[in-house]
Structures are given as C-alpha cells and as structure tokens.
Amino acid sequence: MANVVLADSHSIYRLGLKTYLKSTTYNVIGEAGSFAELHDVLEEKPCDVLFYDCYLPYGELLDSLLRLKALQPNMKIILVTYTQFFHINQERIRKIIDGVCLRTCEFNDVLKTLSSFDKSHDAMIA
C-alpha cells in the first residue's frame, strides 16, 4: 500500500480525492492547504506520492518543488493543475515532477497514473 499526501488549497478537492482513494490500495496519510503545512506533514510522515497543487500558497513553483524533493528525494510528485500545458513545458520543472493531474480528469485516470509508477517514471493524466 502506497502512502499519499494531498497538498491543495481547495479542501473540497482534497476531500474528493481522499474519499476516492479510500476505495483503493493507496493510503492518504496527510493533507495540507499551504506549503508551510505541507512541509510540516512531510517532515513527520514520509510518503510515496504527493499530489501538489501548482497554486499552493508559497511563492515560486520551481523553488518549492526543489525544497520538497530535498526533503523526500524518493517521493513521486503529481502536479495538480487546470491545464496540461501549465509549467510542464518548463524543462526544470518537468524533470522534478512525475506526473500531471488535471482537475478535470476522472478518478479512474488518477488511479491509472498512480499505477503507472510501478511501470515507468513518466506519468501523465489527460
């Protein structure tokens, strides 16, 4: 069972994803609505997968991703965004994240992306 942390400033999005993941083999071990909260959660609870809202209050996206990877280098990061072209074309960000989750995707697509981590490094939700 993989441990998952949900970091999103929209509590309704976190609730929906958490509720869905309860019916899978993925265990939500923490939630955060800001970068400060997320940093505290990750210091206490190592996770396998992080759903990370690209608009999470903090500042610059690249800097926050680098800090998170330094904190937990083996953690997979799925960037949550409204558009598939947001930031994923920036080479440095693309090298850090492991997937993109569009807010408009179906829950089954989320599960396919999580499952793909067992098969390959690169995962994308369309």
Give the DSSP letter string of 61-75. Answer: HHHHHHHHHHH-TT-
- pLDDT tens-place string over residues 81-109: 876 655 555 778 888 888 888 877 887 78
Q: What is the pLDDT at residue 57?
A: 77
Q: What's the pLDDT tens digit per position in 35-82?
A: 999 999 999 999 999 999 988 877 688 888 999 999 999 999 998 887
* pTM score: 0.85
CA–CA separation, 102 and 91 (whole Å) = 19
The pLDDT of residue 126 is above 50: no
Q: Is 62 helix (H, G, I), strand (E, B) or coil?
A: helix
> 121 pLDDT band (50/70/90 cuts)?
very low
